[in-house]
Structure 1
Amino acid sequence: MSLRDPSKFLIADSLDTFPQELKGGIVAIGNFDGVHRGHRAVLGAALGLGHGTHHPVFAMSFEPHPRTVFNPAKPVSRLTPPEQKLGLLKVCGLDGALILPFTKEFAGIEANAFVQEILIDTLGISHAVTGYDFHFGRARQGTPDYLRNAGANHGFGVTIVQREEDEGAEVISSTRVRDSLRRGDIVQANALLGYRWFFEKSVQHGDKRGRDLGYPTANLNLGEDTPLQRGIYAVKVKTGGQWYDGVASYGRRPTFDNGATLFEVHLFDFNGDLYDATLRVHLVAYLRGEEKFDSVEALVTQMDTDSEEARAALASMQPLSDIDMKLLDLAP
């Protein structure tokens, strides 16, 4: 396998299917929801260790999110569902990813068993890289110091990456990204991520009301636990291998039916049928909150204004980051 070759990205969803090509490698361990700048500091440290060596570099992550397993009544709002997380790990330049099923039984294994049976016997790692706050094993007994000592005793290297902070000296975390999205602070969310937050969904059939208003929309169901403020957004959308500018509404359409929460996207300069198509939507700017209008005419007037503001926001958006650039070529 050619190391750091995106076309050779290997994926395993269990220890039994772990590929021989990744054995003996350098593993970056973490949940990596969002693959934000803090996560990429861990991944970057692993890639740096692998540079110029014969050791493959891969990520070990867990699904579903551990907090969802322990508190299913309050599932974690995911920034990147499994497939999107894999796509981001791929564009980071890794050789592969091991996504282990996370269960209460898995969480209950002893820390020494995690090291011996998983890291050594199955993966045969040469080096482990984790963040400063990573814990593993029963009762979280596997601390960073524990892992460092285990490595010294068993002959593999260990690197603990310290907290990554933003320009305000606050730690970068998935929780902060979620909180930013819930407030509609897309600028901060994207700054913490280091790329424009996105999601991928299939278009659903709707009531075609947008078409009657002169703004045909593609309707996307994000799920009730999506960490996103209701309102109007400027967006970049990829479908069928093409990119489009657009404006979107996330909410319950209070002027009409106050129904189920939907993300409704209107693409500028697009003619065609999007039903059942998969869209990847990147959020660029939050324009305003959700409102109820006294008349359809007032709503349409506001939609005209929203479209103008969205076009202006898209025309003046910041340059793409390296991760944004690499995401451009990913499906759909």
Structure 2
Amino acid sequence: MTLTARPIAMTIGVFDGLHRGHQSVISATVAAARERQGSAVLTTFDPHPDVIVRGAPPRPWITPPDEREELLHAMGVDRVHVVRFDKDVQSLPPEGFLDRVLGEGAPLRVLVLGPDFAMGRDRVGNRAYLEALGARRGFEVREVPFLHEANGGKLSSTALRTLLEEGRMEDAASMLGRPYALRGRIGSGAGRGTQLGYPTANLELHPEKLLPAPGIYVSENRFLGRSGHGLTYVGSAGTFGAGPVRVEVHLLDHEAKEPLLGKWLVTSLLARLREDRVFETPEALVQAMDQDRARALDYWRSREKTRGSR
């Protein structure tokens, strides 16, 4: 990793999801860098260390690497360093890992840790170990405490993943500090939505992106430099036969004057209206979609009314 001679404040972790707990660690890292007119560096891993250390199967990313890096830069991180995690990296002591990441003699001045952090071979690099190492090498160690939800539960990527897999989007948004979003280019579909009176934009997502529970969601969508309300479908369109899981967005307030094919769209999932279902006929599906649309419009009216009363 090539760095300037500017002082470095760094944090280390997977940071999948970038929930509010992660954000508190990142904010502390950025603040430490700004105190020293230095660079905020975040070191992360691919694949997830559990794949190598525990032999766990790879899991979909809550925030795939490209999405994560974009969000991190928006939070003020200057450099994102992705370490290819393998048996060699796993075997490094903490000193060797820091030298591998930064280069020997790099001006590391602050190392920011999340709660229960440990690094290096056999996880020997806990806070006490790193403080002793910092005393020898000239860097300070700062630890950021756990953040908790209102119900007392700890913020964690595992808890967030469970919420998403259950379709609990409001709870997930509380943990994230933002709605959960899916993004991708708009690709071509079978055209069934248009035939049914509900044209959809078919999203081509990162192949390792975690999808929430199948169903119909109220969504806020950004495309062509503007935003709009919508219904987002996550499922396999079982009414028309088995197929791969897909994400389709019906834009409630968009007139199809401009071609969307190939454009980027970000759909933020606000609430799950219902689970995915297989209908006996296309007509029954249209009736359900009419009800979905009415419920979505009620959702937006209620939301606007709540905002207006503040």
Amino acid at match of 2:280: D
Post-superposition offset of 1:35: 1.1
Q: Distance in 2 between matches of 1:188 and 1:227?
A: 16
Decide which of 276, 288, 297 is 1:290's aligned counterpart.
276
TM-score by length of 2: 0.89
Decide which of 201, 223, 240 is 2:224's aligned counterpart.
240
Report which stretch shifted further, 110-119 or 85-94.
110-119
Post-superposition offset of 1:203: 2.2
Provide Cα deviations, 1:221-243, integer angstroms capped at 9, x if missing partner.
Answer: 54487241000001112122221
* Correspondence 1:35 to 2:27: no
Q: What 5-or-longer segments of structure 1 have no aligned partner?
A: 1-14, 319-332
Q: Distance in 2 between matches of 1:62 and 1:207?
A: 38
1:88-237 aligned within 5 A: 88-119=71-102, 121=104, 123-222=106-205, 223=207, 226-237=210-221
Amino acid at match of 1:306: D
Q: Is the 8 A contact 2:63 2:209 kept in 1?
A: no
> SS at the partner of 1:62?
strand
Could you tell me the percent identity over the aligned residues? Answer: 32
- Aligned partner of 1:307 in structure 2 is 293
Q: Distance in 2 between matches of 1:316 and 1:63?
A: 42
Q: Distance in 2 between matches of 1:54 and 1:225?
A: 36
CA gap of 1:118–1:86, structure 2 versus 1, over 3 A, is closer
Q: Is the 8 A contact 2:7 2:37 kept in 1?
A: no
Provide Cα deviations, 1:72-96, integer angstroms capped at 9, x if missing partner.
Answer: 7721221111111111111212333
Provide Cα deviations, 1:65-122, integer angstroms capped at 9, x if missing partner.
Answer: 2234456772122111111111111121233322222223222212231245545726
Amino acid at match of 1:300: V
TM-score by length of 1: 0.83
> SS at the partner of 1:203?
strand
Provide Cα deviations, 1:119-176, integer angstroms capped at 9, x if missing partner.
Answer: 5726421110011232222222222322122112222100111211111111101111
Report which stretch shifted further, 55-64 or 32-41.
55-64
Amino acid at match of 2:285: L
Q: What 5-or-longer segments of structure 2 have no aligned partner?
A: 305-310
Q: Distance in 2 between matches of 1:78 and 1:122?
A: 34
State the aligned residue count: 302
Q: Is the 8 A contact 2:218 2:269 kept in 1?
A: yes
> SS at the partner of 1:255?
helix
Report which stretch shifted further, 157-166 or 109-118.
109-118
Q: Distance in 1 between matches of 2:81 and 2:209?
A: 26
Report which stretch shifted further, 177-186 or 158-167.
158-167
Q: Is the 8 A contact 2:19 2:175 kept in 1?
A: yes
Amino acid at match of 1:257: G
CA gap of 1:200–1:293, structure 2 versus 1, over 3 A, is same
CA gap of 1:257–1:79, structure 2 versus 1, over 3 A, is same
Amino acid at match of 2:223: T
Q: CA RMSD in A?
A: 2.3
